Structure 1
Amino acid sequence: MRAVAQFTITNLCDVVTSDTAPENPYVGQLWVNTATVPPETMVWDGLGWVLQNNLEELRETVSTHTTRFGEFQSSIDGMNSYVSSLTETVQTLEGDLSGEQEKVLEMQAQVSELQHSVDGLSVTMQEQFAGGINYVRNSAGLNGITDDWTITGTVSTDSSTDVQSNTTSDSCFVLGDTSTLTQVITGVVPGAYSISVRAKKTGASYTSYFYAQYNGNKYAYLFNTTSTFGWTEFSAVIPDVVDGTITVYAYNRLATLYVSDIILAEGTAVHKWTPAPNEIYTTEVKIDRRGIEVSNADSGQRTVITNQEFSGYYNEEKIFTLNKDETITKKTTVDGELTVGKTKFVPMPTASEGLNIVILD
């Protein structure tokens, strides 16, 4: 008996070219899809037809990389040019460096000499301006004769042209015949102090003097003379203060003694006059530990605010003052309505019509 069989040979490498997908595809089958322009080669992956290669995307990628490479090449060319220029600059700088080094060495030598000079100046300035706070209150009479001072005899203040031309403060105390001016300063820290004063003496034959008493019974005289003298600055250094109290004392016998710009300051250097802390004196404003006084020389008005009074003056006459819960005044002008308790006083449009009195509810 003879057996007969039929075989079908399939070429797995066959590529189907058509505008429709092949039926019953097998995994790995290729199909050139002519329905697209240009045709696309597809492959069956068991689930669907997948584009075998994306040539257009590859072309775009290659084109992009080509462009970037060209830009990179341009940057390299620019950098080469810049490096060449920089090399020339460095070579020029190297040529000048030796000369600059010599200049630097010269400058270092000058700085060294200057440093020595600055060190000397620092020491000098420290000695010249150490301290500076004036311990003497109302030290030139700018606030009149206050209770900072104890006086005997006749003592007044003066701010005449002669005084302004010869003092820093533009004011002074004036001691008459057999008069004294004393201030006791407390709270002084032990150490060295300087004291100075500007003074003028107009009479001879009798003694006038100015001193600082410290450490109980020690004295530092700034002047003690019978002779007359014009405006002169006197000073003294007290190197060994151990007591917290220093007394400033001025005495005059006969004629007149002018005393101004008194300053007691810490340190051995003599200082230019400044007022004590918390004291401000200008032409029309005075501020010290008592309070504030504001004046107007042209109008003769003056307002005083202290811990004892709040008052207004006109030509030394007290016009108004605050007394506990009431205000005392000599004259009052009301421009408009005036209400007193439950009563209101309303002026009529014209003075001839009088005053309208309204009783409030």
Structure 2
Amino acid sequence: MAETGEQGQRANVRVIADDDEAIAVARELAARLAEGAAERDRERRLPREEIEWFSQSGLWGITVPKAYGGAGVSFVTLTEVVKLISAADSSIGQLPQNHFGLVDVITLTGTEEQKRYFFAEVLAGKRFGNGFSEKGTKNVLDLKTRVRRDGDDYVVDGTKFYSTGALFAHFVPVLGLDDERRGWLAYIPQGTAGLTITDDWSGFGQRTTASGTVTLENVRVSASHVLPAYRVSDQPTLNGPVSQIIQAAIDAGIAKAAIDDTLAFVRERARPWVDSGVERASEDPLTVREIGRLYIQLHAAEALLERSAKVLDEIAAQDAVSEDDVARASVAVGEAKVLTTEAALLAGEKLFELAGTQSTLAAHNLDRHWRNARTHTLHDPVRWKYHLVGNYYLNGAKPARHAWN
């Protein structure tokens, strides 16, 4: 008899064995996700079925360490997987971004019991959402959410926004401060009393990420589900660069998608300019020049992305991570993030210039690429990446350690 419900879902989850399999699965899934991407964005239809395909593919479990049954893939592979999925549908590509960072938090700060429990859950298809950021505060680190110990449990109170993936998650990890203003992450099971998730995300880009509000009213969480998040910043770890490199990979995927659609439209639909003297838009010398520029920008961004992933892999392979290692990783990822941001924005804009007026018609929904790029790249200001890189090389200044560096 076939299994049904939760047990059936777990039975169908693939456990990916290695890097090559992860890439192969990502390519296959990306082709499937790309088919309805424009329609989902146009209709703001949440990808409830598609996210099940995604987690059942096993890709949400690829960073689980090998010692706990996962593939423990390299950062080069992780960024390639995220890039492939994001090129197909960047909203879906963004959904596991926090999940991977939260798996890393468990690796870095979890007890042996917590690692065994949560890694088994991830490999069985469970997804982490997030309850990190808050709106209306002084800055991203000015948190109002509180986590306090109460006997054998913790109690969480607060309101979160930009909670990408929370609506689809089995656990909603919420970041809050204790009385000493240290950060704790409470991995709250979906359905816990006092936890409310509202799909009120109205951003013009990344429309189907459901990055809305999480409200917590006297939410009681077992101590076994609470981790000392402050340690990933107080101590030298790669958690910040890991979070950032995934962001950069999403933007690289957006750039690739926009360029692919530009090529298709120019070849199949666009008309040459009247003064060009050519028969097809694809022969217009000025269009050809701009296509060359786009590819140079994309390949440069991808090269720095791969380089930064190799830096992370090299450091992660060491017995210990130093402050200098973290600084080097943050700068390498920052350099990549500058170019992936600029490539995504440029590709989204150039699409219309090269494809022509017809490309602006709503039926094509090609504006989603620029909208997605503009929205996602606002996660943290790229202008500060220039400062981070310059200050490191000129003055030897190490970047601050947090999830945005």
**Normalising by structure 2, what TM-score?**
0.20
**Which structure has more RCO (C-alpha within 8 Å, separation ≥ 6)?**
2
Which structure shows the bigger proportion of residues in helix conformation?
A: 2
**Normalising by structure 1, what TM-score?**
0.22
Which structure shows the bigger proportion of residues in strand conformation?
A: 1
